């Protein structure tokens, strides 16, 4: 992760009291450094900032750290950048504390990152998602460092960042970098879902549907699936179709099931495409239409659905929605077999023995 912070922005906002001749000299040197930096005379800027930094001036120490970080006016040196940030941060300079927290987080030194983040928060700093990554390579074992990493993420999430709240929900759900905790997963999914995040709404629906982290409640599952589905989430649309088809949390309604599967199918959801094919074949929720059934089965098969290939074989065998052709039926049974469907293998062998 690249630390993004504008040195110029900081310099422009820096000013000191001119209460004494000594302070005036400091201000003059600092202004000279700013002026040199603006004209891209980085070596001259470095000269003034280094002079003031060695005298203990926190803003100059911070700016010197930035120049070491970016390699402007001096060879790039991350360790020197951290050293000068540290000196400024130790004097309570907020921007230096924030930069240290970022750099230590990048380097996965989460204890130091947490410490400087806490110092910055005492001065009113609010963590932002652009300041920190949303994760790192985590093992399944929860180490002390990973606990601190979660601390940083949770601090960001507490500020209402729905994307990070959703990430935390998934981490707790899957046990990635934390101990698996469905209750925590529900809590973070809910925070993001209540802000309108469609994926979090879908995930919260899953939790209610399966009774993980909450008491199973099909009505709540339907409610959250619907919120996500109305935002175009194909998985939620598919699941909402399932709920209507089974009568879970809603009155059984094949027409609604087909309607939601249609929406998901049109977005390329393979299972919805297959289910919609079945609805057209059986005339459930839609007018029976074998040609439409075959069309949707073809789309599902194109995504590797074995049962769809088998059903196309059945349609060719019976001449439903297509011209009857047992050789073509055998071909589709073979495709189903190749995808692991044993019934397709059996039908293929039988037709093959019959000479097709």
**pLDDT score for 99:** 84
Alpha carbon distance 54, 67 (integer Å): 15
pLDDT tens digit string along 163-222?
888 888 988 898 877 789 999 999 999 999 999 999 999 999 999 999 999 999 999 999
CATH for 273-356, options being 3.30.465.10, 1.25.40.10, 3.20.20.140, 2.120.10.30 = 1.25.40.10
**pLDDT score for 113:** 76
Whole-structure pTM over 0.75, yes or no?
A: no
**Burial (CB count <10 Å: 0-12, 13-18, 19+), residue 219:** exposed
| Mean pLDDT of the region 272-276 | 97
- What CA–CA distances, in Å, run from 340 to 31, 270, 310? 74, 17, 11
Encoded tokens for 347: 């039908």
Contact 52, 30 (CB under 8 A): yes
pLDDT tens digit string along 110-142?
677 777 778 888 888 877 656 665 433 322 333
pLDDT tens digit string along 11-57?
333 322 223 344 557 888 888 988 888 899 999 989 999 999 999 99
What DSSP string runs through 262-293? Answer: HHHHHTT-HHHHHHHHHHHHHTSSS---HHHH
**pLDDT score for 290:** 97
| Mean pLDDT of the region 281-303 | 97
- At residue 108, does pLDDT exceed 70? no
Q: Name the class of domain 1-116.
A: mainly alpha
Indicate if 273-356 has the same CATH topology as 1-116: yes
Alpha carbon distance 201, 41 (integer Å): 53
**Burial (CB count <10 Å: 0-12, 13-18, 19+), residue 13:** exposed
| Between 355 and 111, the higher pLDDT residue | 355
Q: What angle do CA 289, 294, 299 make, to 5 degrees?
A: 130
For the chain, what are the domain ranges? 1-116, 273-356
Whole-number average pLDDT of the chain: 85
Q: Where are the alpha helices (DSSP H) in the chain?
A: 7-12, 21-38, 42-54, 58-70, 78-90, 94-106, 110-122, 144-157, 162-174, 182-193, 198-210, 218-229, 234-246, 254-266, 270-282, 290-301, 306-318, 326-338, 342-353
In this structure, of 116-120, 231-235, 302-306, the range with the lowest mean pLDDT score is: 116-120
| Mean pLDDT of the region 287-302 | 97
**pLDDT score for 13:** 34
**pLDDT score for 24:** 54
- At residue 7, does pLDDT exceed 60? no
| Mean pLDDT of the region 64-83 | 88
**Burial (CB count <10 Å: 0-12, 13-18, 19+), residue 126:** exposed
């Amino acid at each position: 992760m690249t630390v993004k912070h504008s040195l110029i922005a900081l310099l422009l906002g820096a000013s000191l009291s001119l209460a004494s001749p000594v302070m005036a000299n400091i201000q003059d040197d600092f202004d000279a450094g700013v002026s040199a930096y603006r004209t891209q005379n980085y070596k001259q800027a470095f000269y003034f900032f280094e002079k003031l930094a060695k005298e203990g001036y926190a803003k100059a120490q911070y700016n010197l750290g930035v120049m070491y970080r970016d390699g402007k006016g001096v060879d790039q040196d991350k360790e020197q950048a951290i050293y000068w940030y540290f000196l400024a941060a130790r004097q309570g300079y907020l921007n230096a504390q924030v930069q240290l927290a970022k750099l230590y987080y990048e380097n996965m030194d989460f204890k130091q990152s947490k410490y400087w983040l806490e110092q910055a928060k005492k001065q009113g700093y609010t963590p932002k998602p652009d300041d920190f990554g949303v994760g790192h390579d985590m093992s399944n074992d929860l180490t002390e460092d990973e606990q601190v990493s979660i601390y940083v993420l949770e601090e960001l999430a507490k500020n209402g960042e729905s994307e990070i709240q959703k990430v935390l929900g998934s981490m707790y759900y899957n046990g990635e970098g934390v101990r698996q905790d469905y209750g925590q997963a529900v809590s973070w999914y809910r925070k993001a879902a209540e802000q309108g995040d469609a994926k979090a709404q879908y995930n919260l629906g899953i939790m209610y549907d399966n009774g993980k982290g909450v008491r199973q409640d099909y009505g709540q599952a339907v409610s959250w699936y619907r919120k996500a589905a109305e935002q175009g989430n194909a998985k939620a649309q598919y699941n909402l179709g399932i709920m209507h088809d089974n009568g879970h949390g809603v009155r059984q309604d094949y027409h609604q099931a087909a309607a939601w599967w249609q929406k998901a199918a049109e977005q390329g959801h393979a299972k919805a495409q297959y289910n919609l094919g079945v609805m057209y074949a059986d005339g459930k929720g839609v007018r029976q239409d074998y040609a439409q059934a075959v069309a949707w089965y073809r789309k599902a098969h194109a995504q590797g659905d074995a049962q769809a290939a088998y059903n196309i074989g059945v349609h060719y065998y019976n001449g439903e929605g297509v011209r009857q052709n047992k050789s073509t039926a055998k071909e589709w049974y073979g495709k189903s077999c190749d995808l692991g469907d044993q019934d397709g293998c059996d039908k293929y062998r039988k037709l093959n023995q019959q000479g097709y």
